[in-house]
Amino acid sequence: MLCGSLILLTSGCYSIGSYKLGKDQDQYASSMIEAGKRQTLSNLVRLRYADTPGFLDTTQLISGYQLQRNAFLGVASDTFPIRPNGGIAAQLQETPTFTFQPVTGDAYAHNFLRPLPPASLLPLAMGGLPIDVLLRLSVQSINLMSNNRPFSRNAGDLDAEIDAHSVDFFGLVHDLRLLQAAGLLNIQLQQTPSTNGKEGESSRVFLSISPTSDPNLSTIVEKTRKALNFSPKYDRMEVVYGVGAPAPGQIKLLTRSMLSILGQIAYQIQIPDDEVSSGNTRKSVDSTGHAGEKPLMDVHSGRKQPDNAFVAIQYDHYYYWIERGDFESKLAFTITQMLLELSKTTLNPGAVVTIPVNK
């Protein structure tokens, strides 16, 4: 038995790399996902308190391992009877190093202040994301139909002169979701070559609605085509960025920036009454009116740490969290996370923070 142990410890064929790879990959991936969720919820709450949001991306993770093995075997000559003695020892040392990049400067402007282009946004619905949740989060208006913004609508806004046809907007996205679920909503992405010969420099996105023999769905098809100004002349409509009445053959989408998306969610978070009375923040936006105005994300708050939260953070002596059993809120939060990833740029990094972790 002793000989077998010595062979195992001293053999160069024994490797911990393959053993640790799968386990560590799962654990680090899970940790990074959870950290990203907490950062997003923290920024939502900070915006709710008019506090400065902060974004820190993990750009590199290096995990090194060192296995130290020792073994000895000998005999004692001063004892009788002579007996062999020996020992074995092994020590595994792990040294992970994380590199973080704060999002600042041009990267901040590109990631969070630039409106999401329709050609990048709408293809997400092709992958199965519910188009109603997607549009309610990321679009301010479709043609003349406005996604209601009760907490911040000023005379200087780009869409200030548009009538707040929010009922039409919510009705439209609801019907689009029904058509998407029935497989009648089609989104096509077309790459346009640039003048210098490179492909994929610009993209155009088109929307079409297939006919159906189902009488109920046929009514929704006609209603949706009318709302989007379809005509028999066009088999599909090009979706472009803009506001107001569209040109023939076009649908205008006024998309939001990521900072605007986060702000829309933040100002609907319910805040404890004493936080409002103390002046730390203002009263939450009331969710009144038709069902479409109900917040997509229900964030709870309390003094006690939640037991089974999907994501939770602590801010200003209160805990804020999303319930694990609240599927609708989790879905909206996950789509927000995806939009954050979609908005990220590949611009050269600025300051980099490297943190070695010693165990």
76-99 per-position pLDDT tens digit: 556 556 666 667 776 666 667 767
Each residue's pLDDT tens digit, 147-177:
865 444 444 444 444 445 567 899 999 999 9
Sorted by where each begins, the domain ranges of the chain are 2-104, 115-256
Contact 191, 200 (CB under 8 A): yes
Instruction: Read off the tokens for 211.
Output: 């006919």
* Number of Cβ within a 10 Å radius of residue 309: 17
Instruction: Read off the tokens for 315.
Output: 């801010």
Residue 257, pLDDT above cutoff 50: yes
* Residues linked to residue 145 through DSSP beta bridges, in sequence order: 142
- Residue 141 is predicted with a pLDDT of 93
pLDDT band at 271, cuts 50/70/90? confident
67: left (phi over 0), alpha (psi -120 to 50) or beta: beta
* Residues linked to residue 69 through DSSP beta bridges, in sequence order: 90
Each residue's pLDDT tens digit, 190-228:
887 765 555 546 789 999 999 999 999 999 999 999 999
- Rounded to whole angstroms, the Cα distance separating 248 from 233 reads 10
pLDDT band at 65, cuts 50/70/90? low
In the DSSP assignment, the letter for residue 114 is S
Helix (H/G/I), strand (E/B), else coil: 97:
strand
Q: What is the mean pLDDT of residues 328-348?
A: 85
Q: Are strands 318-323 and 139-142 parallel, antiparallel or unpaired?
A: unpaired
Each residue's pLDDT tens digit, 303-319:
999 998 999 999 988 99
Residue 14, pLDDT above cutoff 60: no
Helix (H/G/I), strand (E/B), else coil: 119:
helix
Tokens 């000998």 appear where? 74
- Rounded to whole angstroms, the Cα distance separating 49 from 151 reads 14
Average pLDDT, the chain: 79
Kindly give, in sequence order, each residue whose CB lies less than 8 Å from that of residue 172, ignoring residues fewer than 6 positions away.
142, 145, 224, 227, 228
Residue 320, pLDDT above cutoff 90: yes
* Number of Cβ within a 10 Å radius of residue 176: 25
% of residues, the chain, pLDDT over 70: 68
Distance of CA 134 to the CA centre of its chain: 12
* Residues linked to residue 257 through DSSP beta bridges, in sequence order: none
Amino acid in the structure at residue 21: L
- Rounded to whole angstroms, the Cα distance separating 135 from 159 reads 17
Residue 66, pLDDT above cutoff 80: no
- Residue 242 is predicted with a pLDDT of 92
- Rounded to whole angstroms, the Cα distance separating 346 from 285 reads 36
Q: What is the mean pLDDT of residues 258-270?
A: 90
Helix (H/G/I), strand (E/B), else coil: 145:
strand
pLDDT band at 357, cuts 50/70/90? low
Contact 253, 241 (CB under 8 A): yes
**CA angle 207–209–213, rounded 5-degree value:** 170
- Residue 191 is predicted with a pLDDT of 80
296 to 37, 197, 328: CA distances (angstroms): 17, 43, 7
